[in-house]
Amino acid sequence: MIRSIVIMNIPSMNELPAMERWYTRYHAPEILHRFGPWLTRLESYRVVPVPPEAERYGYYNYRVTESWWRSVQELPSVCGTLSFTPSPIRPKVVSIFVPPQPTEDFMGGEVTPDEKTILRWYIVFKYPDEVPVQEGEDWFLNIHAREVMQQPGLTRFFSYRASEIASLPGHRPSKGPPPTAWHRLSEQWYENFDGWRKSVINSPRKYTKPPWGKYDQYPFLEPYVDFVSTFILERPTDDFLRDWRGYI
């Protein structure tokens, strides 16, 4: 089993009505029609509006969709009898494949669901092209993650090392550049934006900048280039597989 994550960004909220109509009326049902036999879950979150301070952390403003696959290796190279309905605008998209469970669970696994409220800082990043992956991993796992765990408002922290799978067979459009190879998905949880501000803005920890870091401040990876993030809550906005009534 493997999970695919898609994070979307639209130019402005003016496009939201058209995008929501397309996503719920056309795109999600077409995904299920094409890939339903291989899916066990298809859940999507409308992201949380953020305070201005959070926008500089590579904020993506539209949706996070998590798909759980029985197997992507078994997918045929060409899937489906119809092409996908094009979106009304072309959103920016980040896509990554990860294992079903975190590869590292740093802290907070003992917290029960009703113990604290949950604001999930959802982060996808990659090391710069000239940095060997193992060198980046050494910094993240042995230095950076330990410093992040000292944040005063942080309640939960775990991470996934990305799979080598880049895209689904029969799904990636033939035009356009190949998908970006992201290295990790991480989640840092806080009780609310006050907890996030306390940890990241008002009382930041002293972090160790890697020697290859081009960005001068935490998280030392360039926003929108090597670092993309958004915020979601604990419950999906849509559970498409459960609610699906068939393809029309």
What was the pLDDT predicted at 173? 52
Which amino acid is present at 175?
Answer: K
Q: Is residue 38 part of a domain?
A: yes
Q: Is residue 248 part of a domain?
A: no
d(CA 159, CA 186): 4
For residue 167, is pLDDT > 90?
A: no
For residue 190, is pLDDT > 60?
A: yes
d(CA 24, CA 5): 17
What was the pLDDT predicted at 73? 78
Instruction: State the residue range of the domain holding 24.
Output: 2-243
Omega prior to 179 cis, within 30 of 0: no
Q: Is residue 203 part of a domain?
A: yes
The mean pLDDT of the chain is 90
Share of the chain above pLDDT 90, in %: 74
pLDDT band at 83 (very low <50, low <70, confident <90, very high): confident
What was the pLDDT predicted at 135? 96
Q: Is residue 86 part of a domain?
A: yes
Q: Is residue 85 part of a domain?
A: yes
Q: What is the pLDDT of residues 195-218, one digit of tens each?
A: 999 999 998 888 999 999 989 889
For residue 1, is pLDDT > 60?
A: yes
- What are the b/e assignments for 14-25, b being 16+ CB within 10 Å? ebeeebeebbee
Q: What is the pLDDT of residues 59-69, one digit of tens each?
A: 999 999 999 99
Helix (H, G, I), strand (E, B) or coil at 47: coil
SS3 per residue for 134-172 = HHHHHHHHHHHHHHHCCCCCCCEEEEEECCCCCCCCCCC
For residue 239, is pLDDT > 80?
A: yes
Cβ neighbors of 165 (< 8 A, separation 6 or more) are 2, 72, 97
CB–CB of 212/128 below 8 Å? yes
- In the structure encoding, which two tokens stand for residue 226, read together? 């090597």
CA-wise closest residue to 192 among 231, 230, 248: 231
- In the structure encoding, which two tokens stand for residue 153, read together? 């408002």
Q: What is the pLDDT of residues 18-56, one digit of tens each?
A: 999 999 999 999 888 888 889 999 999 999 999 999 999
Helix (H, G, I), strand (E, B) or coil at 30: helix
What was the pLDDT predicted at 81? 67
Cβ neighbors of 178 (< 8 A, separation 6 or more) are 166, 167, 172
For residue 181, is pLDDT > 60?
A: yes
Q: Is residue 165 part of a domain?
A: yes
Q: Is residue 96 part of a domain?
A: yes
SS3 content of the chain, % helix, strand, coil (to 5): 25, 25, 50
Domain count, the chain: 1
Where is pLDDT greater, at 166 or 8?
A: 8
Cβ neighbors of 130 (< 8 A, separation 6 or more) are 212
Where is pLDDT greater, at 57 or 78?
A: 57
CA-wise closest residue to 195 among 123, 119, 122: 119
pLDDT band at 248 (very low <50, low <70, confident <90, very high): very low
Beta strand 227-232 pairing with 119-125: antiparallel
